[in-house]
Every structure is written in C-alpha cells, then in structure tokens.
Amino acid sequence: MRVLVVGNGAREDALSWKIAQSPSVETLFATPGNAGTASRATNWNIPVTDGKTILERAQAENVDLVVLGPEVAIAAGVGDRLRDAGIAVFGPNRSGGRLESSKVFAKRFMERHGVPTARAAIVHSLASANKALDEWTGDGVVVKADGLAAGKGVVVCDTVDEARDVVKNWYTNNKIPGGGTDVLLEERLSGREVSVFALADGRAMVPMAAACDYKRAGDGDTGPNTGGMGAYSPPYDFPIDMYDQVRERILAPVLRGLLAEGETYIGVLYCGLMWTEDGPYVIEFNVRFGDPETQVLMPRINGDFAGLLKSCADGAMDLTLATLSTQSCVGVVLATNDYPRSNTPLRGLNPDVSLPEGAQAFWGGSALVDGSVETGGGRVLTVTALGETIADARSAAYDAVKSLAKRLDTSELSYRTDIGAVR
C-alpha cells in the first residue's frame, strides 16, 4: 500500500512513524512533511490546503490511502476532492469537519441530538455578548471563538467581568481568533478533562484510545493557553467503564445525528470531555488526531495501523488489525522560550534526535536544510517514552529530554517539568 500523510507537525511525524511500521505499507509520502517525516517518507512541497495539487500528485504516485492530519486541510475540502477522484481517505469531508471548524455548528448539533454539553449562549456582536452576560448565572464563563484558531480561540474566565473584557477586546479590535463575528459564551464545567479518540467508518464509531493533555504554558497549569505542552496515556483514575459511558452517552447520539443529517463520517472523532459528577460532557469536538496526544498514542499501538485506517476509509472498520498496548506513554513538548506569545524561528538544529528503545522524539513544523533542521518556532519537539506505569514513563521521558539536551542547544527551548505528575 502507498500512503500519503497530509501535514507537517509533530502529530504527522508520529502518524508517519507508526504507519511506516505497518506491514501493509510499501511506500510512504508526506506533504509538506517535516524533518522527521523526511527520514522515512518522501516529502512533497505542497501546502496542506492545496487539494488540487495534492490530488494530481497522489494520482501520479498511485497513492492508495491519504491520512489527513490538520484541521485546516479538512476545512479546505481536501478529503472531498480526493474521495471524488476515487482515492481512499482517512479523514472527514468538509461538511463533517464543521464539528470542529465551527463551534456554533457543533453546539447546535449537540443540542439537536441530545449530546451532553455545557449550557451556552451564541452571540454575534459586542451588544449581544453584553446582554447575555448581564443575564449570566453560574461559576465562570468560557469564551470561545467560532472558527479555527490553532488552539488559541478559547479563554476561561473566572468572572463575568473578565469575560466582558475578552469580548470587548475581540469585537472592538477585530481580534476574534479565526475571524468571523460569532462567539460562544459557555458555562464552565467542573471535573477532569480527558480526550477520547474514536474511529469511524461511516457506519460505526468506536473509542480507540484516550489521553490527558496539558494546555497551559507553565508548570501547575499556569500561564497562557497553548496548543498543548505535553500529554500522557492512558488516563489516570477515570471510571473503569469510561469507554462504555463515552460510547453510550456521546458516540451513539453523535453517530445517529450524523446519519440522520446525511453525513458519512470517516476518520477520527476527538472528543474533548469534562468528566463531571454526572459523567462525561463534551467541551469540544475535533475531527482529527490531537497534538500532542497523537505523540503518546502512537507508541502504544501494535499491529497494522495503516491497515486499520484503510479499513475505516473503505467503510468496513477491522479492529483486529491493530491493538493498544497496556503500557503507559508520557510526552513532553519542547517549545521556544517565547511560545505562545510569538514563534521565533530556529536554525542549525542537530537532526539527530535518536533515543534509546522505548523513547522517541517527534519534530514539529520544520525542514531539513543543508543537513540541519530549521523550525518555524513554537512547539519544536515532542519527546515521548513508554513505561509499565505513568510514573515509569514520566521518568523515562524526562531522562530522554536530558539526553537530547546534550545534543541540541536547548537554551532557546523550554518545557514543563510536571507532565505526567499524576497524584
């Protein structure tokens, strides 16, 4: 099988790493790829949203399966174009992608189909936002931009006054992340966050794996929100029937709703959940694998992962093709010191990020140039390690970070020191 992975982040590096190990895979491509994918795949210099050129190259290379990584490719309709041409795609069409590309659409979809989610008000202007906040009841407000905002469109506010300041800044300065005018004001749920990833083949939706990530920049969940500074899998101290509850309360009504609305959803559904006293509630949906969660899920997968994705793309999911290890995995993100305030490009990095067995490093947005790595800044590497327990995996992951520090100039990189430090 000839497989193309679309994307250039650490998520796609991890996906390509696991797909390359699949016995069903003969040749691997990535577009545009990064310094990591270049070690195992042929990188194409095609932007992830250029569906026309991706299709032309995929046809010329006789690609059998395309795996869509980033949400922007899905929102641009790349999957639609490839499927229309007869190429198997793991990833939803643009219409199904609205579960992520529009938080307003997702909220209304959940309300239509009885999916447990937070109470929310949908506003379209500063005046309507202030009116909704005048009537607000509850502990805190979560302010969410409607469109895609690279993980930076959500602000958790402790008070109504804080929420007023956020929406005033967004509306008066045309700073709504992702653009547009629609904003969600959502009640703040109490509990523990967990990300559950379900595979879908258009007819079924089955939970595959779960992880917990760390969104704040600093130790102890301090500092601004980021795209994610680390993760661990499996989740710690959740109900033993977690997957059964998610299947019944979340996935079943979502699948029924999609089918009722004429949507054939193929790919992964990332359920960002708050586990409350009343069970799981949806905070948000994403329509692709997460970053950094993918980096801690892929090391736990055994078997023909590419074959499993192809079976989903063909509409006949075969869960026997790949299994999930009982081992734990912890991943630590190394980011530039100014992240997420800005992204400072780095040049001349050592491409050798090889680590002892059980540990792995995945490059973020980057390229190999004259034998060294150049990055666009932000999240540069995710370092992961396996262990029999989360504590074991955490210890091994930070040992791997220290090992890399001897080969990389880490003075311009920083990371959290409490990833996986579960109580």
Sorted by where each starts, the structural domains of the chain and their CATH numbers stand as 2-93 (3.40.50.20), 119-187 (3.30.1490.20), 192-324 (3.30.470.20), 328-414 (3.90.600.10)
What pTM does this model have? 0.95
CA pseudo-torsion sign 96, 98, 99, 104:
negative
Q: What is the pLDDT of residue 179?
A: 87
Give DSSP secondary structure letters for 366-405. EEEETTEEEE-SSEEEEEEEEESSHHHHHHHHHHHHHHHH
What is the CB-side half-sphere exposure of residue 403 using CA atoms within 13 A? 17
Q: Distance between CA 90 and CA 72 in Å, rounded?
A: 15
Q: Distance between CA 332 and CA 85 in Å, rounded?
A: 39
Instruction: Specify which residues 377 forms β-bridges with.
Output: none
Q: What is the pLDDT of residue 423?
A: 59
pLDDT in tens, the chain (423 residues): 999 999 999 999 999 999 999 999 999 999 999 999 999 999 999 999 999 999 999 999 999 999 999 999 999 999 999 999 999 999 999 999 999 999 999 999 999 999 999 999 999 999 999 999 999 988 899 999 988 877 678 889 999 999 999 999 999 988 888 888 899 999 999 999 999 999 999 999 999 999 999 999 999 999 988 889 999 999 999 999 999 999 999 999 999 999 999 999 999 999 999 999 999 999 999 999 999 999 999 999 999 999 999 999 999 999 999 999 999 999 999 999 999 988 889 998 999 999 999 999 999 999 999 999 999 889 999 999 999 999 999 999 999 999 998 888 778 899 999 999 975
Q: DSSP code of 117?
A: B
CB atoms within 10 A of CB 116: 17
Q: Distance between CA 232 and CA 185 in Å, rounded?
A: 29
Q: What is the pLDDT of residue 260?
A: 97
List C-alpha distances in Å: 326 to 16, 297, 305: 22, 11, 16
| Residue carrying structure tokens 């190990």 | 21
Q: What is the pLDDT of residue 5?
A: 98
